[in-house]
Structure 1
């Protein structure tokens, strides 16, 4: 009956021109296909007229905002299978009973009861609800049969309505049947697919065949490979005039050949003639050696402002030669970085000028200088730096102070770093864990430990003057590890 709709609060969407009207249904005329609203609101603003009448042809969408108690009681009295009047467009027909034909496709909207939503308060603008058009189709219910809905007034109230709107739209029937994972997985023939991939790769000479036939596809690359085409890498970028010498390699695979001590002396003399004086080499060697020593001592994990009570201790064993001056320079830089440095240097009547100047600078750092082995620490230190040996004077090993210092280093149980160790047929008096070579390495024995190489600033053309073809293997570093071939 048309009276079933009277009293319901509805929202009528009349298109972009007329806008949206909301109000209470006052009457429904089945003959003229019109519906009237009392106390209407137009686009959220209350109208000045008490009642507005709409034709079915003007209605684009209609949504029930609130169902009156009278309509609910009438529906209960009529029963769940009773028919109700549906407002149809002029081109349709009205019928009572559920057996009527459906409205044509793309016809005007059918007025169906919808979920209850909050009533529009007078004096305030309420947001317009989401309008979903309900068009008739050949598969729809009859024109006078109301679309069944889930009553949100029981079994959960308003929250139940929200759940039904999100998840209850025809999903119950779908979820009743479990998905057969095992049966679906059995349809995938893994062995056949991988066999097809391998055969396609063999046809493409190792490249994966993709795209159109005959199209050249690029080779596959690992995550650490460069995809840009480049010239092949030449790993032997340094060549020396002497063949058969010991060779080393860097982490990136570059070959670094060793040189004899005679060629090493010629190289340093050529560098000095071009302005790379002994003082500059001492400074560069001290910086590189101290940087390596700081890393061995723990680096940023050990040398922090919060760890001043556990400052590392380094013992420097130096002799009266250039190698000893290099060790003093290293000790000065370590002391400047808050390292406890104990420098051992025996007393001599005559010292090299380089040693005298380095000692003067070291005395300004606050480090300890001792000339007797008995004054060295009795407890183990963090690191021992060995600069006792000389390239040119091998007789120093017979001196009492040398033997006493070597015995102390071997008994201290601290790791040893040797700076610029010499090449000697004899066993090393102090077994080193690391050795630091300058410029190019010498053919060191196994007792030198792991070999590192530091850059002391010799230009490329200086290498060429002594017959060495040279390309720097250091990259972004000044100290690099070398591996024996």
Structure 2
């Protein structure tokens, strides 16, 4: 008899302390009065253990949710006696309404049972035993039992939707019949709504009804009848650093020179920067010196800008950090006895102050400019190395070479041995070269550089100097106007900007 209940889905109420369990009956032991559930749910939550065993002493109520094989009750939820012995509460742990302790399980007749009250007039005891159960784990239990999901879509509590049909008239109602013979659950959730949901939707058949060629032909015909609309103007697209609300259009030619050079450059923002002749450049510096921008100030500004550019080329913050003292970059400066050489010495002083290994090449001369003497005195106080012979220069490749060998005034220096030796060393060394204030086009530099730094306004340079950069040496706007140059600063927030060919 106990084997008949194996595989059935039951709900066991163990009181407010232990709660309610649902699961599939895996074993029933009549001797020890225990029952075990496989894959149990506790208060609607799946238990972490695969099996739970209950004693008849702990069971307050046992409801059969589904009987294996569709046997007794034909899907009714039944309340049966478990047969508890001497249970708590005066009637045993497994008692039912009207069932004495220790009695055998009571068989409740189903709708198809001819011996029962199949006409729907059940006794009060049977009506109580046939009440629906909205248990916590009903949905999970039905899935575990392999039931058809469509039979539970209406959330009926007392019978499966498979029972609808000819036997529906004999189905017991929970709270009677009202509103034209509808059950209260059908009235709430809508009877007949899910009748056609069991059929799969035919996607292929529905797609075959769509005539794509006819639809596109209709669209083309409609477009031709309306006429082709005029091409709309594409709205302007702005960069993240551009102002959307512009009061007036930008004038990209903000610098005009009376004697333009042979070349023009443009900045990253599109501003045109014309080149100037060396005569106009020399006159601009002369007027600036009269207004107080002395040679010492220009040397300092040039040294700061050139050293800042060199530090960026050396790696910037990725290379020059306190934790990277074992890889300090090495820079060689090749300087001549002129103003351009003094600019290189000023740059070397600032590089040495930023923990860069600086080697300064400057030949021994009987007479040198006062600016070179003062700059050299400051450089020697930074700890940098000074050499006067090419033989003392590093034999291994260095990080950067800064060339300040050429002069705008004296072109005969290129014939001297020290100049040729320094140029040959720079060309043989595999380090990149930065030229500061290189000569104008037509006087090719002996050292082929990768970058060139011009001062104030660029000179017309040859392609051998590499990419051209422009640095601000602090010439006021009024000085530009005095020499006939219409000038608006192209530097923006920087002191060194790249120039491009238009």
Does 2:316 correspond to 1:299?
A: yes
Gaps of 5+ in 1: 1-7, 10-65, 83-94, 99-110, 119-131, 135-140, 149-168, 208-218
**Alignment partner, residue 228 of structure 1:** 244
Q: In the aligned structure 2, how far is the partner of 1:145 from the partner of 1:342?
A: 106
DSSP-derived class of the 1:475 partner: coil
**Alignment partner, residue 183 of structure 1:** 207
Q: What's the CA shift for 1:397? A: 1.2
CA 1:147/1:361 → structure 2, altered by over 3 Å: closer, same or farther?
A: farther
Aligned positions of 1:80-479 closer than 5 A: 96=120, 113-116=133-136, 145=171, 173=197, 176-177=200-201, 183=207, 203=229, 205-207=231-233, 219-222=234-237, 224=239, 228-230=244-246, 231-243=248-260, 245-423=262-440, 425-479=442-496
Q: In the aligned structure 2, how far is the partner of 1:422 from the partner of 1:349?
A: 25
Q: In the aligned structure 2, how far is the partner of 1:377 from the partner of 1:437?
A: 28
**Is the Cα–Cα contact under 8 Å of residues 261 and 275 in structure 2 kept in the other structure?**
no
**Alignment partner, residue 212 of structure 1:** none
CA 1:390/1:235 → structure 2, altered by over 3 Å: closer, same or farther?
A: same
**Alignment partner, residue 48 of structure 1:** none
Q: What's the CA shift for 1:425? A: 2.3
Q: What's the CA shift for 1:275? A: 2.3
**Is the Cα–Cα contact under 8 Å of residues 332 and 402 in structure 2 kept in the other structure?**
yes
Q: In the aligned structure 2, how far is the partner of 1:459 from the partner of 1:282?
A: 16
Q: In the aligned structure 1, how far is the partner of 2:334 from the partner of 2:171?
A: 105
**Is the Cα–Cα contact under 8 Å of residues 113 and 147 in structure 1 kept in the other structure?**
no
Q: What's the Cα RMSD here? A: 4.4
Between the two proteins, the alignment pairs up a number of residues equal to 356
Q: What's the CA shift for 1:319? A: 0.8
Q: What do the CA deviations read for 1:388-413 (whole angstroms, capped 9, x no partner)?
A: 11111112112221111111111112
Based on CA coordinates, which of the two structures has the bigger radius of gyration? 2
**Higher deviation after alignment, 427-436 or 272-281:** 272-281
Q: What's the CA shift for 1:298? A: 2.0
DSSP-derived class of the 1:203 partner: coil
Q: What's the CA shift for 1:472? A: 1.4
**Is the Cα–Cα contact under 8 Å of residues 439 and 445 in structure 2 kept in the other structure?**
no
Q: What do the CA deviations read for 1:417-445 (whole angstroms, capped 9, x no partner)?
A: 10001215232211111110011000011
